[in-house]
A and B are shown apart, each in its own frame.
Chain A
Amino acid sequence: MSNILNIFKKEIRDILRDKKSLTMMFIIPFMIPLIIIGISYLFEYQMNLGIETYNKIGVTFKLSDREEEIAKKNEINFVYGNEKELKKKYNHEEIYAYLSKEGNKYTIYYNNQKDKSSLAANLINKYLEDYKINLQKETLENNNINSQEVLNIIEIETVNFQKENFLANYIIGYTFIFIITAITTAAIYPATDSTAGEKERGTLETLLTFPIKSKDIILGKYLAIVSSSFIAGLVSLIISLISLIICQNITSIYETTNLIISGKNIFIIIFIIFMYALFISGLAIAVASRCKTFKEAQSALTPLTFIAMFPNIIIFTMQVKCTPILAITPFINYNLIIIDLVSGNINYIYVILMFVSTIIYISFIINYIIKQYQSEKILFIN
């Protein structure tokens, strides 16, 4: 036990004295507030776009007085021109959409990838709807039919069950993906340095001549890397929560979102962060210790960052919910459970499944690394 502690102390000292290790440990945590505040502001800007910023709309035909009146009511500034001229104006962003007419058929030209163009298209749709009702009303009244009775023959009321704030939830979901990425990055660099790096520098041979069991060397290194990644996870969590609370006060997109997470939920999130730190640290050491040089280990571990990040982005974008199988699927189970927890749908069976499966994975991984260190191949891999 004392030698596990001695190796742990040595590794922690190495991490704390190595500027690169410290940078990798804190680079993502300190980027999180910039990302959260930046995205929050961007979403708010899009939500609060004034009509005057997108109401310049092209039209290829002469509007009647009635059409002009409806356009005025809808605050549309129509710009006249032929299709070619309007296309040019659209490309120069002088107008955001344009409308053409052939008989009774109206065509709206816009780009749904552009926010202002989409908003302009919505405005045209609203204008055409108003114009259509106006024409229907006139026709009905000319035929002595009560237009109110016909047009409002049924009454529609829409109740939206979606009480959650989509934009806020989107940002919160991504925040946890960043936390997972921060933990991964904080594990990878020290794992590379303390295994392949130590081998390359020649200090591993020195270490193996000391009266220390291979198991103690691995456990000491493992605990130091777990500590590094867990601290990065905790710092990321604290910074994220502070950033979200600041954004709640300075932007309007979090108005209906409750950012106060209960003590119990904070504890569960910290527990999940710890479990992920245990898992990713073991995996990073297992991969890096097979490599001969620091550079080789870096190349081998780079995919791990992507594996940690992209499946989580996909499941979040597809709004996948946790299932028993997903709860034991490494990399994604941690994030899925946190998202369930934050949205108030936590299933404790999944937490238990995640815990048990992680312990099983770690046992296999640590066993594998110890076997590697017990073999002389760890030093003389050629």
Chain B
Amino acid sequence: MIEVKNLQKVFERTNENNVEEKFLALDNINFKAKSNEIIGILGPNGAGKTTLLRIIAGIMKPSKGTININNLTYQTAEIKIKKGIAFLSGNTKLYKNISAYELLKMCGEFYNVPKEKLKNRIEKIVKVLNMQTFLNNRIGNLSTGQAQKVNIARCLVADPKIYILDEATNGLDIISSQIILNFIKAEKKRHKCILYSTHYMEEAENICDRVILINKGKIIASGSPKDIKLQTKTSNLRDAFFSLLGGVDNE
């Protein structure tokens, strides 16, 4: 479903001395993801998780390497690929001046969902996520949990094959986080492919089929949480991560 090959991302920036400098954000990233699978992209802040997911979601371009999604590439079929992807990040902001219903309708229209189908889909999603009480309220007036539900709902409206979730539970309270985690589990059951980045190792251990550990833009390990723990002779992913790094000081 998703095949990432030799991916590299170099950022150019101007430092305080007005000198152009290059920063290697991702280097030699390779992995595959298939349907009915939750892949955790794990790593500390600044490891390159967000950059990787942004490139896969098509809002950033790689400096080198290729991304194949259902045998299509962004160079030739950007819109077709994006129709099969929903991107949700901890920073995803919604339009505050419109109601939750208007947003869902608008998103459905962006994905060219036929009118009648869209109406039925919204009704179903609203019921599942229990959004009836605030459906017609402006998003700017919703609580964080309600807004997060709207965010999930707008991903579901498209009924994509792939979910790219970047630190989606970051900064959320325990109830709002659980809503997201339940949503991920439910979508896996619907044979979706889910790329899920987080720096909460325990969270990933619980829901991911496979994890990819990234540090300083490079993959340092990948496999099922069980395999990684076995490989590093540790009892949890957090310890496994530090073991791979050779200790906290090295990180």
Q: Which residues of A line the B interface, CB within 8 A? A: 2-3, 6, 9-10, 13-14, 17-18, 201-203, 205-206, 208-213, 376, 379-380, 382
Contact status B97-A203, CB under 8 Å: no
Contact status A202-B93, CB under 8 Å: yes
Q: CB-CB < 8 A to B80: which residues of A?
A: 211
Q: CB-CB < 8 A to B82: which residues of A?
A: 209-212
Q: How far is the CA of A210 from the CA of B102 in the complex (A)?
A: 16
Q: Which residues of B line the A interface, CB within 8 A? A: 13, 57-61, 78-80, 82-83, 85-87, 89, 91-98, 102, 106-107, 109-112
Q: How far is the CA of A210 from the CA of B92 in the complex (A)?
A: 13
**What residue in chain B is nearest A16 (Cβ atoms)?**
B97
Q: CB-CB < 8 A to A382: which residues of B?
A: 13
Q: Could you show 23 A-B contacts with beta carbons less than 8 Å apart?
A: A2-B109, A2-B112, A3-B110, A6-B109, A10-B98, A13-B102, A14-B97, A17-B98, A201-B96, A203-B94, A205-B91, A205-B93, A206-B93, A209-B85, A209-B86, A210-B82, A210-B110, A211-B78, A211-B82, A211-B83, A212-B110, A376-B60, A380-B60
Chain A binding surface, main DSSP class: helix
B106 CB contact (under 8 Å) in A6, A201, A376, A380: A6
Q: CB-CB < 8 A to A210: which residues of B?
A: 82, 107, 110-111
B57 CB contact (under 8 Å) in A202, A209, A213: A209
Contact status A203-B110, CB under 8 Å: no
A13 CB contact (under 8 Å) in B59, B83, B93, B97: B97
Contact status B59-A211, CB under 8 Å: no
B110 CB contact (under 8 Å) in A14, A211, A379, A380: A211
Contact status A203-B93, CB under 8 Å: yes
Q: How far is the CA of A3 from the CA of B107 in the complex (A)?
A: 11
Given contact pairs A17-B98, A211-B112, A212-B82, a sample of 12 additional A-B residue pairs in the complex whose CB atoms are under 8 Å apart: A6-B106, A9-B106, A14-B97, A201-B93, A202-B91, A205-B59, A205-B92, A205-B93, A206-B87, A206-B94, A211-B79, A211-B80
Contact status A376-B59, CB under 8 Å: yes
**What residue in chain B is nearest A2 (Cβ atoms)?**
B112
